[in-house]
């Protein structure tokens, strides 16, 4: 008589269906907007001697930032959060729907804490102004570590001249002055030309003094900036 194979009884505590390993499609944190602006992998380590260029983008549909009321609220938030716990905001640019920062910090953790605190202050100030609540920024910030004096100079030119470049390209930005007053240019001492901003003494300084050698001295070895310089086209 043919032998019959014994059926194995399912073990207690073991699921009776096959499980596949690996990441599930769609798993993980979702972007705040329609698509993620920044990948969510680990960020590069930051040494205290290196500045960083940071970009923060607003949600779609919010009012433009380059207006007097919005900029006053932003500048007040910058002034409070520009120098805290090893984090320094040294330069900035306000565009219609995003912000550029040049920052210094003693390490990666200080960058994260400093930017988180700054983002919270900005969101609270803008939401109060707009009479709304909820999220203001589209996704987490993007940053780029600047490791050479040349990179720092290029970043300064980009941040302080980005609005003028947009204006030259007809991108709904106006910069009628020699410098863009929606940036930290009025407090910048690295222009070749003499720049005078009327009434600046009555405004609380919204940026911290640079501490790193590259942001204080090193970039100047490649020449001071001109108010007529525009960022290179990407």
Tell me the pLDDT tens digit for each residue of 130-170.
Answer: 999 999 999 888 999 999 999 999 999 999 999 988 887 77
From the CB of residue 53, how many other CB atoms can be counted at a distance below 10 Å? 21
Tell me whether residue 27 is exposed, middle or buried, using C-beta atoms within 10 angstroms of its C-beta: 0 to 12, 13 to 18, 19 or more. Answer: exposed
Domain boundaries, the chain: 52-222
Nearest C-alpha neighbor of 57 from the set 136, 161, 146, 170: 136
Alpha-carbon distance of 60 to 97, in angstroms, equals 8
Q: Identify the pLDDT of residue 205.
A: 97
Torsion of CA 55, 40, 119, 209, to 10 degrees: -50
For residue range 93-134, list pLDDT tens digits in order. Answer: 999 999 999 999 999 899 999 999 999 999 999 999 999 999
For residue range 13-62, list pLDDT tens digits in order. Answer: 433 334 444 444 454 444 444 444 444 444 455 689 999 999 999 999 99
Alpha-carbon distance of 28 to 189, in angstroms, equals 45
From the CB of residue 6, how many other CB atoms can be counted at a distance below 10 Å? 6
Alpha-carbon distance of 196 to 178, in angstroms, equals 10
CA torsion through residues 229, 223, 146, 197, sign? negative
Alpha-carbon distance of 154 to 135, in angstroms, equals 32
Q: Can you name the CATH fold of 52-222?
A: Alpha-Beta Plaits (3.30.70)
Q: What is the CA radius of gyration of the chain?
A: 24
Res 231 pLDDT > 50: yes
């Amino acid at each position: 008589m043919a032998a019959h194979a014994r059926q194995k009884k399912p073990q207690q505590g073991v699921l009776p269906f096959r499980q596949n390993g690996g990441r599930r499609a769609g798993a993980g944190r979702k972007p705040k907007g329609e698509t993620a602006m920044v990948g969510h992998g680990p960020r590069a380590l930051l040494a205290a001697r290196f500045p960083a260029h940071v970009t923060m983008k607003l949600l779609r549909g919010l009012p433009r930032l380059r207006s007097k009321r919005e900029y006053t609220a932003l500048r007040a938030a910058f002034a409070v959060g520009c120098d805290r716990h090893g984090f320094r905001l040294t330069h900035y640019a306000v565009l219609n729907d995003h912000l550029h920062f040049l920052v210094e910090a003693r390490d990666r953790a200080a960058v994260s804490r400093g930017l988180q605190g700054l983002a919270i202050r900005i969101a609270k100030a803008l939401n109060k102004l707009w009479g709304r609540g909820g999220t203001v920024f589209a996704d987490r910030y993007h940053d780029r570590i600047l490791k050479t004096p040349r990179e720092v100079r290029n970043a300064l030119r980009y941040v302080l001249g980005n609005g003028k470049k947009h204006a030259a390209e007809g991108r709904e930005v106006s910069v009628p002055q020699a410098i863009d007053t929606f940036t930290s240019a009025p407090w910048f001492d690295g222009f070749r030309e003499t720049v005078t901003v009327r009434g600046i003494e009555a405004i609380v300084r919204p940026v911290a003094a640079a501490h790193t050698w590259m942001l204080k001295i090193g970039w100047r070895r490649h020449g001071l900036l001109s108010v007529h310089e525009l960022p290179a086209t990407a």
